[in-house]
Amino acid sequence: MKKILLIFLTSFLFQLSYASDNSGITISAVGDIMMGTAFPSWSYLPSDQGQSLFKQAAPYIQASDIRFGNFEGTFFEGTEQQDGKATGANRYLFKTPTYYTDRLVDAGFNVMSVANNHSRDFGLSGLATTKAALIMAGIQYASKEGDVAYFTVRNLKIALLAVDYKSGPRNINYPQSIYKEIQKLKTKNHIVIVSVHAGAEGNQATHTPMLQEIFLGEKRGNSVEFARTAVDFGADALLIHGPHVPRGMEIYRDRIILYSLGNFATGKGINIGGVAGLAPLAQLKLNSKGEFQKGRIVSFVQNRERGTVLDSGGRAFEVIKNLSLQDFPASSPVFGINGEFSY
């Protein structure tokens, strides 16, 4: 009990210092969100319609200006589509009822990425209803199709774009057009944030290799090369997700790169054992130039009955800290206590 009270106290004090400086911007970022799927059965949805999913996380999400997650799947209530995901091994279709956008609103999210390998599980119709549902909920989105989320915070203009490894535009395997887009966005905005869905998957994929990753026969991108080059062209923060497990982070040219935020909410039918069950929430502070100032990893774990709950053991932070020091010894942040890190 004392340990839990200490976590809440230190969290409160950090939140005060995190939000007290009115210069620059703050970001709350989580990884993949799949609140539950009605495919192949409605029984795969949460028993409480997802009302407990983000209850404990909401204050930490709401503490920032930009409140980001990757929506893994579709808001869709139709049937399978001919242009949806093809049948075969490792086929998972994620179909979430449109009213579940209320859960994202209640949590405080104001922007989602819909650039990932499940955004077209139900074809173009599923993607269209997903975008429409987010618009109706008042949540911005960034997609492969050219959509960019824009914010103005204390007279600072912010752009957030999303990319992945799938065929089509904004594919990190063919990044030159993405770099040019980042460069152009930077000329018109003070801060450019890039969401990236890339990397191999699973409990064995925690380390960040400095090479092209292959998973299930697909090119999943070279996250390190892409992220660093994106910074060279003007990106200020890279929010990477896709491996479904946390990875390390580094500071490159004064900019923060998070190599995997893992999963934050995972529906039934998908493994949440081991490190895959850890759910980090990153709180970041950038100055008006986009340079990283300080941050914190708030550690959560996923629980089938209680949603995403605070972890008094701080395991997500410890995993990210250790991986950062191992994989990026020359560019890792300086880590403190209670999840804090700085430059």
pLDDT tens for residues 19-43?
Answer: 656 789 999 999 999 999 999 889 8
Predicted pLDDT of residue 241: 98
Task: Tell me which DSSP letter residue 85 carries.
Answer: P
Tokens for 197? 């869905």
| Distance between CA atoms of residues 148 and 62, nearest Å | 21
CA 206 to chain centre: 16
Chain length of the chain:
343
Quick: pLDDT tens for 194-218. Answer: 999 999 999 999 999 999 999 989 9
> Looking at 58-62, 92-96, 188-192, 232-236, which range is the least confident one?
92-96
Q: Where are the alpha helices (DSSP H) in 26-142?
A: 58-61, 101-107, 123-137
Predicted pLDDT of residue 88: 64
| Distance between CA atoms of residues 316 and 72, nearest Å | 20
Predicted pLDDT of residue 16: 52
Given phi > 0 = left and psi -120 to 50 = alpha, else beta, which region is 296? beta
Contact in structure between 265 and 35 (CB atoms under 8 Å):
yes
Query: Residue 92 burial (CB < 10 Å; 0-12/13-18/19+)?
Result: middle
Predicted pLDDT of residue 9: 55
For the cut 90, the answer to whether the pLDDT of residue 242 exceeds it is yes
Domains of the chain: residue spans and CATH? 2-342 (3.60.21.10)
Quick: pLDDT tens for 39-61. Answer: 988 989 998 999 999 999 999 99
Q: Cβ of 119: how many Cβ atoms within 10 Å?
A: 27
For the cut 60, the answer to whether the pLDDT of residue 157 exceeds it is yes
Q: What are phi and psi of 252, to 5 degrees?
A: -125, 120
Quick: pLDDT tens for 254-297. Answer: 999 999 999 999 988 888 999 999 999 999 999 999 999 999 99
Share of the chain above pLDDT 70, in %: 93
pLDDT-derived band at 3 (thresholds 50, 70, 90) equals low
Q: Cβ of 317: how many Cβ atoms within 10 Å?
A: 24
